[in-house]
Chains A and B, each alone.
Chain A
Amino acid sequence: MLTHCIHLIVNETKYEVEVESKEFLSDVLRDKLHLTGTKESCGMGDCGACTVIMDGVTVTSCLILAVEADGKEIVTVEGIAPGNGELHSIQKKFSEFGAIQCGFCTPGMIMSAKALLDRNQTPSEAEIKDAIGGNLCRCTGYIKIIRAIAGAAEDLKQQERS
């Protein structure tokens, strides 16, 4: 088939979209669902700016056909805040630690951090670097991003205790 009617579950909302086979998930998220938080910088899976979480793991959405994502649960940067004006711990810590400069890599970084902390609540520095190893940043030099993720891990652990 050349065109498909697919269902994407993005940030817990169900969308029904008509797509051609050749359309990639990053373009559909940005252009059809108007979720421009996910950025595309290279289109080749080299930079990680388009990282989203699909079925629980991070993927570069520029290399996933929209039709491959049919029926999948996808989380983008627009969907990680708990709502009611509250921000996720990762977002809070990114701001607190000064981990954001131009911000273009930030959504991808946050999604990589989220996927890490969802499965590992006490990541070591090496594990954090591994988790964001596929996310390029040209501004920050990564140091504050790594500290922010460690800070978020602490924060989430504390929240769980209380």
Chain B
Amino acid sequence: MQNFHYYKPVSMTELWATISEISGSPVFLSGGTDLFPEMKLGKRSLDHVVDVKGISELEFASSEENQAIRIGANMTLSNLLEKDLFPPSMVFLKQAISSIGSLQIRNRATLIGNICRASPASDSVPPLICLGAKVKIEDGRNGRYLEVEDFLKGPGQTQLEEKEMVTEVMIPNPSGKSTGSFIKADRVSKDLAIVNVAVFIKLDSDGTTCSDAKIVLGAVGPTAVRVKAGEHLLIGKTISNLPSDEAADLAVKSCRPISDVRATADYRKALVHVLTRRAINNAAKDLYLH
């Protein structure tokens, strides 16, 4: 393994100054739990690694009443789980995060790292897309927000240009009565998802009809798959009678899974149907009972 330059700036100003002096493509390091295995397997070679963990400005997770939740690049998954951060409508995101890796991995890995890794099987991405989460991309001069859904381009590919970094995830706080459901199919505990499904349902003001829905599938396409047809099907229906079966049929039609060592494409499709149906029913039941 080739040696590389390692930098550890202690402020955002120093960060951008360091970046500007690097000729070549720097890699931003936070948790390293995806980066280092890839490096060890020879899938990535590193020349310049910029460790951002020393930057306290990136260590924040704020959630104020009815305000968006903002999570900085240095928040580890364990930190996020320990804080009283997520309102009831976002518990499914919390569940997804706690299904990532093992405790040791969650003690290092960050939410932003998980998003930027752009794995088709990411557990955090489907719930984040359901919630309309955005990433903030900065380059030292400007900052822009991009929906997570648009940020991800393909397996391992994002909209990040060279010398750009995601500094924050912003998750809008859903107004009104809403909830989500996240289901992950894995072979044993502490596994990558064979398929995961996140569903988010919002009720209208009289609390009986679905006013908004999101259905997002993971590990069945190059990036997370939005089942827009399924979402339209649910909108306007009564919560006690959501057409989850038909929506699940549409989910199967939307996905393009591959066969790999974890599962065949056919089996993944079968799971998509089951998990989508169950996730919709779980969310509906949750709203109906509360």
Interface residues of chain A, those whose CB is within 8 Å of chain B, are 1-2, 4, 20-22, 24, 43-45, 48, 51, 57-60, 62-65, 67-68, 112, 130-131, 133-135
Contact = CB atoms under 8 A, between A and B. Distances in A.
B83 interface: no
A41 to B, nearest CB: 13
Interface in B93-131: 101-105, 107-108
Interface residues of B, number: 27
Contact of A51 (B78, B104, B190): B104
Nearest to B189: A133
Contact of B190 (A20, A57, A134): A134
A60 B105 CA distance: 7
28 contacts: A2-B4, A2-B5, A4-B6, A20-B3, A21-B5, A21-B6, A21-B49, A22-B1, A22-B2, A44-B40, A45-B33, A57-B107, A58-B107, A59-B107, A60-B105, A63-B36, A63-B108, A65-B6, A65-B32, A67-B6, A68-B29, A68-B32, A68-B53, A130-B103, A133-B102, A133-B190, A134-B105, A135-B102
B15 to A, nearest CB: 16
Given A57-B107, A63-B36, A134 B102 contact: yes
A87 to B, nearest CB: 24
Given A59-B108, A134-B105, A44 B3 contact: no
Contacts of B102: 45, 48, 133-135
Nearest to B1: A22
A59 to B, nearest CB: 5
B87 interface: no
Contacts, number: 76
Nearest to A43: B40
A64 B108 contact: yes
A91 B131 CA distance: 46
B51 A68 contact: yes
A48 B190 CA distance: 11
A10 to B, nearest CB: 18
Nearest to B32: A63
Interface in B240-261: none
Given A1-B6, A57-B78, A67-B6, A133 B103 contact: yes
